[in-house]
Amino acid sequence: MTRYSKQTRLLLAIDCIIFGFDGSNIKLLIIKRGMEPEKGRWSLMGGFLQPKESLKECANRVLNQLTGLEGVYLEQLRTFSEYDRDPVERTVSVAYFALIDINKYEKQLSHDYSAEWFLLSEKPKLIFDHDEMVKLAQKQLRYKASLHPILFELLPEKFTIPQLQGLYEGVYDTSFDNRNFSRKVLSTGLLVKQKEKDKLSSKKGAFYYKLDKKKYKANFQAFLNFIPNPDKFIT
């Protein structure tokens, strides 16, 4: 016996929901689709699973094609399988969500794919079930960030606490008390204070911090509480 008989074979693909933070807002990186059908319409970056490739490898490969980045934060979200989600032929797609430092990616590659960053509120309609994927990814981003320090993945190596707060406020579309926020964040011991200040966004200037990578990895699964009343923000 070399094959399972009487079973249908089908295509398997991945799609990436790529989030970045421009300093003020969360943005989504999408491309203009390069193949038929729906050629030229807005779409998530995706690709077909290759022989001998795992889904994770596939997602990393596809993400690298678009951004030039490696070692990006990438999380399997869910597998989408409605039989008619792709009109050409049955294709099941595994959605991955990625968090990248918006300053690090190679703009040239994005250009090749006619990629663009969009505010979530200004995102055009996407093909197939990609809008649903984005919606779920947003929900998962809020959920996970309310418990674990994933949002650091969106920031550059050095950042200030007001910047971090702005990021959290963007994700949850609300505002926090800055005094309590900074104390909470610092009390985790995850941040290492630098000597320089960022003087651009205020006169007094805010100290830069770096992540203590060891502690970050060690405490990744521990529950945080940067957000008061997280229940309110998770649907």
Closest CA to 49 of 92, 99, 87: 92
Nearer to DNA, 55 or 206 (CB): 206
45, 62 Cβ separation under 8 angstroms: yes
Q: Does 195 bind DNA (CB under 7 A)?
A: no
Q: Which of 32, 38, 41, 53 binds a copy of itself (CB under 8 A)?
A: 53
Q: Among DNA, a copy of itself, none, what binds residue 225 when CB lies within 5 to 8 Å by partner kind? A: DNA
What's the Cα-to-Cα distance from 202 to each of 8, 143, 197, rounded to whole Å? 62, 31, 10
Give CA–CA dist 112/89, Å, rounded.
Answer: 26
Query: Which of 4, 229, 231, 235 is in the footprint of DNA by CB under 7 A?
Result: 229
Q: Which of 172, 16, 191 is nearest to 105 (CA)?
A: 16
CB of 218 to DNA, least distance (A): 18
Using rule CB under 8 A, residue 228 touches a copy of itself: no
The residue among 147, 134, 124, 107 whose CA lies nearest residue 230 is 147
- Selection from 39, 31, 33, 47 nearest residue 115 by Cα: 31
Q: Is 43 in the site for a copy of itself (CB under 8 A)?
A: no
Interface pick for a copy of itself out of 24, 54, 180, 202 (rule CB under 8 A): 54
Q: Does 82 bind a copy of itself (CB under 8 A)?
A: yes
Min separation Cβ 107 and a copy of itself, Å: 29
Structure tokens at 109: 């590659």
**Planar angle of CA 134, 11, 48, nearest 5 degrees:** 60
With CB under 8 A as the contact rule, the residue among 24, 76, 178, 180 that binds a copy of itself is: 76
Q: Which does 60 bind (CB under 5 to 8 A by kind): a copy of itself, DNA, none?
A: none
Judged by the rule CB under 7 A, the positions of this chain that interact with DNA are 160-162, 177-180, 182-184, 186-187, 199, 201-207, 225, 228-229
